[in-house]
């Protein structure tokens, strides 16, 4: 499968009647990733080459994921995955968001537990992922992408039905559209903090002005979107420094979307010490 850069579709309240919609789609070389809070949307990840391992954060057991496997991860489930040491792990993915009342995924057998299923025709899956990708991002068509999403889920279900290798591993509703818009923005920032993020582009995708997005954020969080992004980057990096001691400072910086020099500067401003000093301090306390 060819490499397809990440494309993201922001939720629009106008289409709330669609029970399930495409959130992100793309393909990439999968690197090690830990999501302590899970991902905000349900993930359907297909391995097109290489292999890796997946585990729930509260479990020690690693589950192998090989070429041809579907890895389904429900929204909000803390997890991590790592590639095999000797080969590149190439994946394609579609993530989907749905309203709290939607039962679509559960009715199709995708419940609150991760699954690994071996598929027999990933070339067919690759074509559907590319079609969804072409209707996403700056070319977003909510109706066509949703129709293709249902085709994707149906194809996965059909191939899963003939597979004998399946491993099974209430929030308050937003008060108004402005609160829903801020919620969509915070989900995006948390999910994509490891990428370069333009707040102006984010506002455009959400269908509001840069000025209004800042105003809505200040009303909800008492800070700007940029300040919120820095906050979650500093919080996440501090957790990685303590829990992932094998990672270099440069690796931690990359995982939160920052250059090492700028990361060290902002980390010291936030925590009062350098990342190295922070790691050493907590290692002495808890190591």
pLDDT (0 to 100) of residue 223: 86
pLDDT (0 to 100) of residue 269: 93
pLDDT level of residue 209 (50, 70, 90 thresholds): very high
**252/271 Cα distance (integer angstroms):** 15
Report DSSP state, residue 163. Answer: -
pLDDT (0 to 100) of residue 164: 55
CA angle 39/35/110 to nearest 5° reads 40
54-63, 99-108, 159-168, 245-254: range with highest mean pLDDT: 245-254
Q: Which domains does the chain have, with CATH numbers?
A: 7-168 (2.60.120.280), 177-286 (1.10.10.60)
pLDDT higher at 77 or 101: 77
Token pair, residue 91, equals: 């994946």
**57/33 Cα distance (integer angstroms):** 11
pLDDT tens track for 134-190: 999 988 999 999 999 999 999 998 988 775 555 566 344 445 678 778 888 888 998
Report field, pTM of the whole predicted structure over 0.75: no
- Quick check: helix, strand or coil at residue 196? coil
For all residues of the chain together, what is the average pLDDT?
A: 87
**Residue partners of 228: CB distance under 8 A and separation at least 6:** 186, 189, 217, 221
Task: Extract long-range pairs of 251-260: CB within 8 Å, 24+ residues apart.
Answer: 254/194, 255/33, 255/194, 256/193, 256/194, 257/192, 257/193, 257/194, 257/195, 257/196, 257/197, 257/233, 258/233
Q: What value does the mean pLDDT take over residues 243-264? A: 93
**Residue in this structure with the two tokens 């097109």, named with its chain if needed:** 48
Token pair, residue 234, equals: 């500093």
pLDDT tens track for 15-31: 778 888 999 999 999 88
**59/8 Cα distance (integer angstroms):** 30
pLDDT level of residue 284 (50, 70, 90 thresholds): low
pLDDT (0 to 100) of residue 241: 92
pLDDT tens track for 85-134: 778 999 999 999 876 545 788 888 888 889 999 999 999 999 999 999 99
Q: Measuring CA to CA, which residue among 159, 101, 107, 167 is closest to residue 128?
A: 159
**93/120 Cα distance (integer angstroms):** 17
End-to-end CA distance of the chain: 43
């Amino acid at each position: 499968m060819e490499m397809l850069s990440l494309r993201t579709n922001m939720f629009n309240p106008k289409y709330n009647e669609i029970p399930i919609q495409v959130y992100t789609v793309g393909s990439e070389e999968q690197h090690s990733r830990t999501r302590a809070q899970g991902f905000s949307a349900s993930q359907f990840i297909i391995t097109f080459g290489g292999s890796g391992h997946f585990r729930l954060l509260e479990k020690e057991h690693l589950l192998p994921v090989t070429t041809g496997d579907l890895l389904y991860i429900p929204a909000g489930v803390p997890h991590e995955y790592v590639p095999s040491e000797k080969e590149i792990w190439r994946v394609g993915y579609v993530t989907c968001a749905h309203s709290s009342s939607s039962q679509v995924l559960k009715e199709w057998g995708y419940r609150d537990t991760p699954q690994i299923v071996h598929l027999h025709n990933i070339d067919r899956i690759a074509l559907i992922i590319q079609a969804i990708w072409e209707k996403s991002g700056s070319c977003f068509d909510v109706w066509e992408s949703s129709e293709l999403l249902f085709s994707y889920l149906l194809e996965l279900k059909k191939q899963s039905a003939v597979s004998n290798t399946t491993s099974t591993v209430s929030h308050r509703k937003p008060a108004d559209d402005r609160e829903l818009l801020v919620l969509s923005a915070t989900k995006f920032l948390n999910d994509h903090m490891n990428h370069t993020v333009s707040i102006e582009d984010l506002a455009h995708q959400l269908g509001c002005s840069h000025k209004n997005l800042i105003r809505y954020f200040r009303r909800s969080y008492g800070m700007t979107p940029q300040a919120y992004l820095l906050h979650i980057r500093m919080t996440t990096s501090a957790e990685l420094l303590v829990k992932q001691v094998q990672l270099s400072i440069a690796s931690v910086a990359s995982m939160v979307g920052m250059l090492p020099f700028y990361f060290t500067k902002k980390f010291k401003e936030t925590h009062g010490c350098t990342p190295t000093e922070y790691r050493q301090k907590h290692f002495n306390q808890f190591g």
